Structure 1
Amino acid sequence: MKRREFIKGVVPAAAGLAAASGLAAPAIAQNKRELKMVTAWPKNFPGMGVGAERLAKRITEATDGQLSVRVFAAGELVPPFEIFDAVSSGTAEMYHGAEYYWPGKSPAFNFFSAVPFGLTAAENNAWIYHGGGQELWDELSAKFNVKAMLVGNTGVQMGGWFNREINTLEDLKGLKMRIPGLGGEVLRRLGASTLSLPGGEIYPALQSGAIDATEWVGPWNDLAFGFHKIAKFYYYPGFHEPGTSFSVGFNKGAWEGFTPAQRQILQNAAAAENDYMLAEFNARNGAALKTLVNEHKVQLRKFSDDVMKEIGRVSGETIAELAAGNEDVKKVYDSFIDFRANAKEWANISENAYFDSRNLDYKYTK
C-alpha cells in the first residue's frame, strides 16, 4: 500500500474529530484539520522557537496535511505564561513551552522540566521514557485537561549573566535576578530577589537596571539575545537547570479525539524533535562561547565550590520541603529522587569517569 493511501486511510471523518475534541469548531475541510499551537517563545527564536516551527512541520508533513499545525509565537494569540491555560480550556489545541512555567498549577510540574542538581538531558529522557516519569506526568497533567510529552532539551545550561562578580554567598544577598522555577526559590532563600520573566522581557529589564542578573539558556541562545552588551560576567555551571526539558501539551479532549495512528505520529514527531533540539544545542554552544569570549570579551567565571555546596544544600532542603507538603509533588519527587540516585551512581563510573580521562590532556592531531 502506498504511504499516501495509508495516511488517508487512518484519518477519520472530520465530523468525528470535531465532536471528540470538545473544542470550538476548528478549520476542517476535506478531512483536514488545523491545530493551533501557542508557544512561550519569540517568533523564530533559535532553539525553542525554531523547534516549535520544526515540530509543526514534522506533524503536517507526516500526516500529508491531514493535521496542519499553525504556530503562534509568544503574545500573538495569548501571553507566553498563559499558553497552558489556553490549551487546558480549549482555546488552542497545543502548547510548546516548559513545565516549570506553571508551578501555580502544581509545583510537581517543575520535575518535568528542570530542578536544581537534578537530572541531565540523557538521564531525564531515561526517567520519562523508562522510569515511570511519563505515567506520573500523564496523571498530573490530566487533572488540568492536558496530555504532555517531551519535545526538546537544552542540555546543561549556564549559570547566568551578572553585572558584578559572585565570589561568596554574601554577593548573592540583595541581587535582583531573573531565574524561574525552583532555582529562583533556592537563590531567594540565600538572600537574592528573584522573579520569572518571559524571554522577550529579559533584555530590557537587564538594560534598565530592573534586574542585576539573569539566566537564560547557554551561549548560543544568550548570544542571540545580546546579554553580553550589558553584563560581562558569565557564570557556570547552571546548577538550576542541568538538562532543561521542553514540552508539547495537547488539549486532552483533542488528544483523545485523534486516532491511534495519529497519536503515534504525534508522539514520534515529538520524540524526534526532542533528540534533534538537544543535538543542535550541543552543536552550536561551543562556537557561540568562543565568540562571546574572544570577540565580545565576556569574562567567563566558575562558581566557587563553597558557593555551590551551599546552593546544593539549600536546593535539597527546598525540594524536600515541597514534597512534604503536597501529595502530588511527593509522588513525583519519590520517583525522581530514586531514579537520580541510580543515575548518579552509573554516571560516576561511565560518563564522569570518561570525562575525567579525556581531560588528561590527550589531544588528537590534525
Structure 2
Amino acid sequence: MNFKKVAIASALALAATGMSVSAQAADKKILLKTPIAFGSHLPALGTPIQWYADHITTTSGGTIKMKIYEPGKLVNPAEILDAVSTGKVNSGYATAGYWQGKLPASALFSAVPFGPEAGEYMAWLYFGNGLKLYQEMYDQGGYNVKVLPCAIISPETSGWFKKPIEKPEDLKGLNMRFFGLGASVMEKLGVGTVQLPGGEIFGALEKGAIDASEFSQPAIDQRLGFHKVAKYNYFPGWHQQSTVFELLINKDTWNGMSETQQSAVETTCMATMTYSIAEGEAMQYSAMEKAKENGVEIRYWNKEMLNLFETTWLEVVDEKKAADPFFDKVWQDLSQFRKGYALWQANGFLPRATQTQ
C-alpha cells in the first residue's frame, strides 16, 4: 500500500470513530470557501491544501466540502485573517507569519530562526502548550477564528544571491526579499528587506529591483525559476528550519459544526501534516541536482556567518520580548520545551555532518 493510500485510510479510520450513519445524516452540510496564500501548483506549499480539499468530503461523511481560491482570486493573501474573522469567507489557508504586523507572536507559530525542526515543532504544538497558545493569541487579539495547523515543511534554503556572500560586509546595502522573523535579523545586518509574494520575486530579481531573495524549498524555488537570475544558493535555512501552515475557520462556522464534523476537520489536517512533510522531503534532492546542472553553486554558510546570524537573532528576540508581552510568553514556553527536548535530541540522534565553505 503506497503512502497516499495509507494517509487516506488513516484519516478515514480516525474520522469515522464514533460516527454513526444517523449522526452523519443529521449534520448540516457545510461548504468551506477557502482563499489560499500559495498557489496550489507549488509542491508542499500549496499542494497540501488541495489534498485536504480532495479528502475532507470523504472524511466528513459527505457533509463538508471545500472550494479553494487561488491567491488573489477572492481575497489577497495578506487579508485572509481579517476576511475569515469578519465572515467575508468562512475559512482560509496561510501561514501565521503573515500577521506579525498585527500579532507579533504569530511569527513564532510559523517559522523560528534557529528554531525547531518539523518533528520537534509538532511535538510542541500537539503535546506541549503550542496549540493552546496558538488559539489564545487569536482570541486575545479579538479574532473570531479557530486555528488548526494543517501543513508543515522542513528547512528552506536561506537565499538566492547574485554574488557570493563570504563575510558580514558583503550583506550591507543589499536589497532582499525576506520573510518573517529572519527579516529582522537581516535588517540589523544592513540588508534592506521587502516582502513580496512568490509570483513577483523572479521579475524583481531579473529587473534588479532586489539583489537577492529567499522563498522556500529547492523544489518550490525551481518552479519559480530563481536559478535563471541568481546563481548562488545558500544553505542551511537558518531562518526557517521548518514552517507551519494554518487552516483558519470562522468561529461561527466552527461552532455550527457537529462534534463529528469538527473531528473530521481536525483529523484531516493532521493527515495533511503528514502528507506535506513527506511530499517535501521526497523531492528536494532532485531539485538541487537540477539546479547544479543549471549552473547554480550550492553553498553552505561558513561558521562566521552562521554565528553572526544566530547572535543577531538573539538580539532580535530580546527586542521582540520587550515590545510584546505575548511574544515573551510564547517564547518562554517554546524555549522551556526545547530545553527539555534537547536532552533527547543530543542522545537519540546521530550527529550531523558539519559542512563549511
Instruction: Tell me, yes or no, if the aligned pair for 1:44 and 1:50 is still in contact at 8 Å.
Output: yes
Cα separation, partners in 2 of 1:231 and 1:356, compared to 1, 3 Å: closer
Per the alignment, residue 331 of structure 1 pairs with 329
SS state at 2:46 partner: helix
How far 1:8 moved relative to its partner? 5.4
Per-residue deviation, residues 21-44 of structure 1 (Å, max 9, x unmatched): xxxxxxxxxxx3211011101242
How far 1:89 moved relative to its partner? 1.0
Instruction: Tell me, yes or no, if the aligned pair for 2:24 and 2:63 is still in contact at 8 Å.
Output: no
Q: Tell me which amino acid in the other structure corresponds to 2:247.
A: V
Cα separation, partners in 2 of 1:7 and 1:314, compared to 1, 3 Å: farther
Per-residue deviation, residues 244-268 of structure 1 (Å, max 9, x unmatched): 1111111111111111111111000
Q: Under a length normalisation based on structure 2, what TM-score does the superposition of the two structures give?
A: 0.90
SS state at 2:241 partner: coil
Per the alignment, residue 55 of structure 1 pairs with 52
Instruction: Tell me, yes or no, if the aligned pair for 1:216 and 1:222 is still in contact at 8 Å.
Output: yes
Per the alignment, residue 25 of structure 1 pairs with none
Per the alignment, residue 313 of structure 1 pairs with 311
Per the alignment, residue 291 of structure 2 pairs with 292
Per-residue deviation, residues 300-336 of structure 1 (Å, max 9, x unmatched): 1111111110110010110122112212111111101
Instruction: Tell me, yes or no, if the aligned pair for 1:38 and 1:73 is still in contact at 8 Å.
Output: yes
Per the alignment, residue 185 of structure 1 pairs with 184
1:6 lines up with 2:6 in the alignment: no
Q: Distance in 1 between matches of 2:183 and 2:47?
A: 26
Per the alignment, residue 110 of structure 1 pairs with 107
Instruction: Tell me, yes or no, if the aligned pair for 2:60 and 2:260 is still in contact at 8 Å.
Output: no
Per the alignment, residue 76 of structure 1 pairs with 73
Per the alignment, residue 160 of structure 1 pairs with 159
Per the alignment, residue 21 of structure 1 pairs with none
Q: Distance in 2 between matches of 1:113 and 1:12?
A: 37
Cα separation, partners in 2 of 1:8 and 1:284, compared to 1, 3 Å: farther
Q: Distance in 2 between matches of 1:56 and 1:8?
A: 24
Q: Tell me which amino acid in the other structure corresponds to 1:298.
A: V
How far 1:352 moved relative to its partner? 4.4
Q: Distance in 2 between matches of 1:292 and 1:231?
A: 11
Q: Distance in 2 between matches of 1:343 and 1:61?
A: 37
Tell me the number of residue pairs that the alignment of Structure 1 and Structure 2 aligns. Answer: 337
Per the alignment, residue 281 of structure 2 pairs with 282
Q: Distance in 1 between matches of 2:22 and 2:157?
A: 46
Per the alignment, residue 124 of structure 2 pairs with 127
Q: Under a length normalisation based on structure 1, what TM-score does the superposition of the two structures give?
A: 0.88
Per the alignment, residue 343 of structure 2 pairs with 345
User: CA RMSD of the aligned region, Å?
Assistant: 1.9
Per the alignment, residue 264 of structure 2 pairs with 265
How far 1:356 moved relative to its partner? 4.8
Instruction: Tell me, yes or no, if the aligned pair for 1:7 and 1:63 is still in contact at 8 Å.
Output: no
Cα separation, partners in 2 of 1:11 and 1:342, compared to 1, 3 Å: farther
SS state at 1:48 partner: coil
Q: Tell me which amino acid in the other structure corresponds to 1:6.
A: S
Q: Distance in 1 between matches of 2:313 and 2:350?
A: 22
Instruction: Tell me, yes or no, if the aligned pair for 1:49 and 1:73 is still in contact at 8 Å.
Output: no
Cα separation, partners in 2 of 1:38 and 1:304, compared to 1, 3 Å: same
Instruction: Tell me, yes or no, if the aligned pair for 1:11 and 1:259 is still in contact at 8 Å.
Output: no
Instruction: Tell me, yes or no, if the aligned pair for 1:81 and 1:198 is still in contact at 8 Å.
Output: no
Cα separation, partners in 2 of 1:311 and 1:352, compared to 1, 3 Å: farther
SS state at 2:34 partner: strand
Structure 2: 5+ residue stretches without partners: 1-15
Per the alignment, residue 18 of structure 1 pairs with none
Q: Distance in 1 between matches of 2:22 and 2:215?
A: 42
Structure 1: 5+ residue stretches without partners: 15-31, 360-366
SS state at 1:291 partner: helix
1:38 lines up with 2:40 in the alignment: no
